[in-house]
Structure 1
Amino acid sequence: MVAAVLQPPPELPLDETRRIPGNKGIWVGITCEIVEFVVLFAVYFVARAHFPDAFHAGAQRLSVVAGTVITLLMVTSSYFIACSVNAIRRGRHRASVFWLVAGLLVALGYPLAKYLEISWNLAHDINGSSGIFFTVYYYLTFNHLVHATWGILGILWVLARLLFHGYTAADHSGLEALASYWHATDIIWLIIFPLFYVLA
């Protein structure tokens, strides 16, 4: 009787709705990304506390239109990639490819919009030496652009695999990992946007 009590309970079937998406590797990467930006945000708030006037004046010189466009591109591409994951889960391979291509095309608009924004900034004498606000702004936004570029390269890799049926309804952790990373990068931008373009 004691032996029967000490026996482990029978394994329950895996509940798909409670499974962590992606894989362990991508969550290590996402954790490192979040830790990095937590440090950078701490630098932002320390600098802002010491130079409130510079941060207020600097925000007035940035293009809110550029920040809004980038925000819309990030959110839209995240939505399209989520649609791709949802489609492959349902076994709809063609739809999954369509949504991932759409997500890639919209995501490519981010570096283009950033290039145009920086060109506009430089034309208005806004560079990294224009004051503490712009030093922090360029450092944070360039770091985000680097992470987004890694995400875009990841989209290309996952799309290549998806085109050759590398993912199925039963096995699509690579696509989920990409979506998880891109969503994390998206969330970080949603913090950056108000800090520099709206609240400063």
Structure 2
Amino acid sequence: MHTSNPALDELTPSITEPKTKAAKTPGSVAVWVFIYAELAEFGFFFIGFLIAKLYFSVEFYQGPAQISTITGLLNTLVLLSSSFFVARAVKAIKRGDKNRTLMWLMFTIAAGIGYCLIKSWEYQLNEQAGISPRTNYYFASYYYITFNHLLHVMVGTCTIIFTAVLTAIGYYNQSSHEGLESAASYWHMIDLVWILIFPLIYVLR
């Protein structure tokens, strides 16, 4: 007669249970299609920038020294921090911790607003130095790419504000938070693009 060993049964996985759980992509499929489309758009911008750099090498070599590297660095730190904040917000909602979710979302919103203010300061410094999109091809590319990214930050910040409101009224919770994950994924995309923009435009010559 067969008798079961409780200790052995705990160590032996049931043949009816799956060995691994499939990893779920955060957010909705539609948002990821949009994110890949946005990344492709910026990819074309970067290719255009590099092609222009080949043709106008002197302007592109001198350009980075004429803009504020400090503001670029500050915005890099702000966006890196914001990605940490929004990631913590997602973890908090998965634990069902509404208050901490809102706290981290508020930090993310503050970072988004901070980025916009620093970018406005940077553009003001350029204006004081007599720099505009018409100065040369480097600055035309610089303004085109950075302003386009600024618009994405504005959209992302408004999206995070919207998700914070929905979280506050209880629409997003521990069991239903796909929209918050989608907003966080979009925000990470914005951060990733800036990590590429900063060295390409502000540092490399």
**One fold, TM greater than 0.5?**
yes
Hey, what's the Cα distance between the residues in 1 that align with 2:154 and 2:59? Answer: 30
Structure 2 unaligned segments of length 5 or more: list them.
1-15
Hey, what's the Cα distance between the residues in 1 that align with 2:186 and 2:17? Answer: 31
1:101 CA drift (Å): 0.7
* Aligned mate of 2:99, from 91, 94, 97: 94
Which residue identity does 1:195 align to in structure 2? L
Q: How many residues align?
A: 190
* Aligned mate of 1:15, from 6, 18, 21: 21
Contact 2:86–2:104 at 8 Å: present in 1 too?
A: yes
Larger-gyration structure (1/2)? 2
Hey, what's the Cα distance between the residues in 2 that align with 1:38 and 1:141? Answer: 14
1:31 CA drift (Å): 1.0
Hey, what's the Cα distance between the residues in 2 that align with 1:31 and 1:14? Answer: 28
Hey, what's the Cα distance between the residues in 2 that align with 1:80 and 1:37? Answer: 24
Alignment of 1:78-89 (within 5 A): 78-89=83-94
**Which residue does the alignment assign to 1:165?**
170
1:15 CA drift (Å): 3.0
Q: Are 1:154 and 2:182 an aligned pair?
A: no
Which residue identity does 2:109 align to in structure 1? L
Hey, what's the Cα distance between the residues in 1 that align with 2:96 and 2:108? Answer: 19
Q: Are 1:197 and 2:202 an aligned pair?
A: yes
Q: Are 1:58 and 2:58 an aligned pair?
A: no
**C-alpha distance 11-151 of structure 1, shift in aligned 2 (>3 A):** farther
Which residue identity does 1:168 align to in structure 2? N
TM-score norm. by structure 1 comes to 0.91
**Which residue does the alignment assign to 1:6?**
none
* Aligned mate of 2:133, from 111, 128, 133: 128
C-alpha distance after superposition, 1:42-72 (max 9, x if no partner): 1001001111111110111010001001111
Q: Are 1:118 and 2:120 an aligned pair?
A: no
1:14 CA drift (Å): 8.7
Which residue identity does 1:15 align to in structure 2? K
1:127 CA drift (Å): 0.6
Hey, what's the Cα distance between the residues in 2 that align with 1:86 and 1:138? Answer: 36
Q: Are 1:30 and 2:20 an aligned pair?
A: no
Q: Secondary structure at the match of 1:129?
A: coil
**Which residue does the alignment assign to 2:191?**
186
1:152 CA drift (Å): 0.8
**C-alpha distance 110-54 of structure 1, shift in aligned 2 (>3 A):** same
Q: Secondary structure at the match of 1:127?
A: coil
1:147 CA drift (Å): 1.0
Please give the root-mean-square deviation of Cα atoms over the aligned residues, in Å.
Answer: 1.6
1:162 CA drift (Å): 0.5
Which residue identity does 2:91 align to in structure 1? N
1:166 CA drift (Å): 1.1
**C-alpha distance 170-13 of structure 1, shift in aligned 2 (>3 A):** farther
Q: Alignment identity in percent?
A: 35
Structure 1 unaligned segments of length 5 or more: list them.
1-9
